[in-house]
Structure 1
Amino acid sequence: MTTVERPTTVARLDAGAVEYRLERRGEVAVVVLHGGHMRAGLALGEEIFAECGHSVLVPSRPGYGRTSPATGATPAAFADVVRDLCGHLGIERVAAVVGVSAGGRTAVSMAARHPDLVERLILQSALGFLPWPDRRTRLAANIAFTPATERATWGAMHALLRLAPGLGLRMMLGDLSTRPAREILAALTPGDRATLIALFSLMRSGHGFRNDLRASAEETAQVTQPALVVATRNDGAVPFAHAESLMARLPRAELVESRAGSHFIWFADDYPAIADRIRDFLTSEPSHHG
């Protein structure tokens, strides 16, 4: 698993500017909605979709990268924007919409609002519709990620990752696990450490993360497609209660519990088995209710 900045394009849609990355492989696509501090140029956990032969479409959510904060500012509105983007790109069939972390709410909304396009829903370490985040995280975010401070916050972290990568990685992992960061760091392979350092060194929040803190309307009951929910009880960024809530509210959901020590399920020893389950899910019959 490697992390480099990949080339992106900007589409000018009726709703506004949307940055995206499209890697074409076939007529069927997987739409990946990444989480906080991520944008279309950064890839995480997408290899499995490429291995299945699917095209991969990754939009930057509102406020991230070159997507305007005003382009579909709510999960429901941006779900409609992504539908329009698919039409703009000639994508008529989406094998799955994948919601990662804070992208989970938009993925749910897209499945609910566009069942004619979306065949399946995959949620990975995803936010549900429970209150989020906690008060401490919200206060910290409103200090560190304002338009006036976001650049300096990430500049300092990127510098730390260059000068003292072990310390920087421990700091980043500290908020992503319920377990001690040193324990999580010790369990990573050298390759995984290098990948995470490279990923964190490319992250920015723009206006996007503060937008993610807003509450949003829930549309889980309208999802008719089969759903796969992947989560770990050790997630320090998105509590496992979100996965339990999604399981209770999505009509056709299946839970895959990861043994990962942190929010990043892709860096655990059981991920190959999880990837096999995702592959099976993608090739299953995508029937809808009703």
Structure 2
Amino acid sequence: MAATLFDTAKGTVEFSYEGTGPTILLLKGGHCSRDTDLSHRSLMYEGFSLLTISRPGYDLTDVSAGRTATDFAETIVDILDHLHIEKVSVIAISSAGPTGIALAASYPDRVEKLVMEAAVTAPWEFGTKMRANLLFGRGEKATWGTIKLLLKVCPDMVMKKILASLTTEEADDLYSRLSLNDRRFIYNMLADSQSGHGFLLDIKHDLADMSKIQAPILGMYARKDKSVPYSQAILLKSNTQNCEIYDAPADSHLIWIGPEAPNVWAKRLEFLSH
């Protein structure tokens, strides 16, 4: 997709804006690059415009554009003003959860609806932060270089290893049940991944006051998600006034694949369309 660079008061932000119709703001999750597509581009064929903004540290968006979720929410509003967009529906994926929350809580007049897809609603655990600093700090490029090399040489092994961190099931058993399309989804997701400086920012994000969110919320979470536990769905529900939790019929953090994935797609589309 064609990327646009916009100079804000805090730094450069990369975004793309495509399609016609009501605008959906897509905030991708951790390790996602401009090339990562978890199926959301299909929303353009359903009558929506898709505004995809790369979060700080990812792609060509400067870290200074928002070191905290609240700071970047302010930068997002600057972009909406620049594009003359009055209101958006927001999709926040995985570690983009705090940014989606901050935007909806701080700027209720700019957010029509909020979709939280396996999205973080609680602080990261200490052990996760330690591992992230080790793998995605100074050694980030080497980490992803190794993963992508191994992905070409022994893709099954790499994808099973990644799945083990995303599911409460036994990874080998789950992998054996995946369709060829689902395996291709995981392969492409990993091939397009790059953390930059973004993921180390993600794990430090504080959570804004969720009770201030006025927009209707759809939280889509899988009970077998190992990386974002279902308890975070309960936390979202218990701290907001107008929130529906949809139990995504998925076997891992990757709620966009599996035999029941069309139901996840249909639920999102129903929520955004009405």
Cα displacement (A) at 1:9: 1.9
SS in 2 for 1:267: coil
TM-score normalised according to structure 1 size:
0.90
SS in 2 for 1:120: strand
Q: Deviations over 1:234-261 (max 9, x none)?
A: 1111111111100101110001001211
Corresponding residue number in structure 1 for 2:133: 142
The answer on 1:267 being equivalent to 2:257 is yes
Alignment of 1:189-208 (within 5 A): 189-208=179-198
Distance 1:57 1:20 in 2: 7
Cα displacement (A) at 1:73: 1.2
Contact 2:35 2:192 (8 Å CA) reproduced:
no
Corresponding residue number in structure 2 for 1:248: 238
SS in 2 for 1:43: coil
Corresponding residue number in structure 2 for 1:225: 215
Contact 1:176 1:236 (8 Å CA) reproduced:
yes
Identity %: 31
Corresponding residue number in structure 1 for 2:99: 106
Cα displacement (A) at 1:48: 5.0
TM-score normalised according to structure 2 size:
0.95
Cα displacement (A) at 1:213: 1.0
Distance 2:136 2:123 in 1: 20
Cα displacement (A) at 1:93: 2.7
Cα displacement (A) at 1:119: 0.6
SS in 1 for 2:221: strand
Corresponding residue number in structure 2 for 1:126: 119
Contact 1:29 1:55 (8 Å CA) reproduced:
yes
Distance 2:14 2:35 in 1: 9
SS in 2 for 1:266: coil
Which stretch shifts more, 148-157 or 212-221?
Answer: 212-221
Q: Deviations over 1:8-61 (max 9, x none)?
A: 2211112211011211222x2000111100133322130452233110011111
Distance 1:278 1:198 in 2: 22
Contact 2:31 2:194 (8 Å CA) reproduced:
yes
Distance 1:194 1:277 in 2: 23
Distance 1:40 1:82 in 2: 17
Q: State the one-letter code of the partner of 1:266.
A: W
Q: State the one-letter code of the partner of 1:75.
A: A
The answer on 1:45 being equivalent to 2:36 is no
Over 6 Å off, 4+ runs:
none
Corresponding residue number in structure 2 for 1:258: 248
Aligned residue pair count: 274
Contact 1:101 1:127 (8 Å CA) reproduced:
yes
Which stretch shifts more, 158-167 or 49-58?
Answer: 49-58
Corresponding residue number in structure 2 for 1:212: 202
Gaps in structure 1 of 5+ consecutive residues:
1-5, 285-290
Contact 1:48 1:279 (8 Å CA) reproduced:
no
Contact 1:11 1:19 (8 Å CA) reproduced:
yes
Q: State the one-letter code of the partner of 2:108.
A: P
Contact 1:18 1:66 (8 Å CA) reproduced:
yes
Pick the aligned partner of 1:32 from 15, 22, 26: 26
SS in 2 for 1:228: strand
Corresponding residue number in structure 2 for 1:3: none
Which stretch shifts more, 134-143 or 194-203?
Answer: 134-143
Distance 1:110 1:196 in 2: 29
CA RMSD of aligned residues (A): 1.4
Corresponding residue number in structure 2 for 1:13: 8
Contact 1:7 1:41 (8 Å CA) reproduced:
no
SS in 1 for 2:33: coil
